[in-house]
Amino acid sequence: MKLFAFFLVFPFILSLATACDRCVHKSKAAAFSSSSSLSAGACGYGSLALNFNGGFVAAANSEIFRDGVGCGSCFQIRCRNRELCNRAGVKVVVTDLNKSNTTDFGLGVRAFAALARPGMADGLKRLVITDVEHKRIPCEYPNKNLSIRVEESSRRPNLLTVKLMYQGGQTDIVAVDVARVGSAAWQFMTRSYGPVWTTSRAPGGPLQFRFVVTGGYDGKWVWAQQAVLPPEWRSGEVYDAGVQITDIAQEGCSPCDTQEWR
């Protein structure tokens, strides 16, 4: 209940500041060869990341990665060299951390090439690092709900570790609770890393989940009121959470970019 009180106060403060869902930031991007870093990605998506967003994935600096909270967030990035680059740029999903302090994003080779104007990809690749601007955008998975992958370290009935996938919208998931369907005894889960949450006190199934999503100044519960995991849930399986997140959190910045990059 405390959470609700906290969240209700903030929209008022926000309306006084410059609320913006598309703050543009100047940054730098580098190309990396995707094969090595995908399966080792700090968000732990492994090869599943190839299903995200057509495989357009990025390694973000620690400010964007935010100890893993930024895993699965989406950005539109375009480069600032008008001669070599198109104006729409590329939409990427964060799947990894880049510890380098010289770039903000490491882009897979395909995503990096997609920054270029027709015929200019080779010229762009020669730059290796390029000046870009980026803004956070909602993630869109038209044919997917938020999904829950049961991790291999889980042991029925009580040890449950899940990885959240296909997180839509433009928010952060800051809390995850699990309960037996129909029960009000919610058990909180703890973030292990990135999109992975765990509890050693999972109730017996069937199980339902609720999520607190927030970002910037606002937040709310997202709640699937139905069975997500069956009583006999299995490691390695991906279960549909029965909801998708479409909310867009605000940041404070000025000026706010109201244009579509195309």
Residue 73 CB, shortest distance to ligand NAG, in Å, is 16
Nearest to 217 by CA among 170, 176, 255: 170
Rounded Cα gap, residues 230 and 18, in angstroms: 45
Rounded Cα gap, residues 175 and 26, in angstroms: 30
Residue 167 in the binding site for ligand NAG (CB under 6 A): no
Q: Which of 53, 103, 170, 250 binds ligand NAG (CB under 6 A)?
A: 103
Residue 211 in the binding site for ligand NAG (CB under 6 A): no
Residue nearest to ligand NAG (CB): 106
Rounded Cα gap, residues 71 and 93, in angstroms: 8
Site for ligand NAG in 13-32 (CB under 6 A): 30, 32
Residue 101 in the binding site for ligand NAG (CB under 6 A): yes
Q: Which of 39, 100, 192, 235 binds ligand NAG (CB under 6 A)?
A: 100
Q: Which of 66, 69, 156, 240 binds ligand NAG (CB under 6 A)?
A: 240
Q: Measured from the CB atom, is 157 or 242 closer to ligand NAG? A: 242
Instruction: Label residue 46 left, alpha or beta by phi (over 0 means left) and psi (-120 to 50 means alpha).
Output: left
Nearest to 38 by CA among 23, 19, 56, 18: 56
Which residue shows structure tokens 């008008």? 82
Site for ligand NAG in 118-147 (CB under 6 A): 129, 143-145
Residue 206 in the binding site for ligand NAG (CB under 6 A): no
Which of the ranges 98-106, 176-184, 204-212, 227-235 carries the binding residues for ligand NAG, by CB under 6 A? 98-106
- The number of helices, as runs of H, and strands, as runs of E, in the chain is 5, 16
Q: Which of 68, 70, 72, 106 binds ligand NAG (CB under 6 A)?
A: 106
Residue 242 in the binding site for ligand NAG (CB under 6 A): yes
Residue 173 CB, shortest distance to ligand NAG, in Å, is 17
Residue 169 in the binding site for ligand NAG (CB under 6 A): no
Site for ligand NAG in 48-87 (CB under 6 A): 59
Residue 167 CB, shortest distance to ligand NAG, in Å, is 14
Residue 37 in the binding site for ligand NAG (CB under 6 A): yes
Supply φ then ψ for residue 197, to 5 degrees: -125, 150
Tokens linked to 34: 């995707």
Distances (CA, A) of 16 to 187, 194, 217: 37, 32, 12
Q: Measured from the CB atom, is 63 or 67 closer to ligand NAG? A: 63
Nearest to 167 by CA among 45, 42, 72, 57: 72
Supply φ then ψ for residue 51, to 5 degrees: -80, -10
Element (H, E) at 222: strand 218-223
List residues binding ligand NAG (CB under 6 A).
Answer: 30, 32, 37, 59, 96, 98, 100-103, 106, 129, 143-145, 240, 242
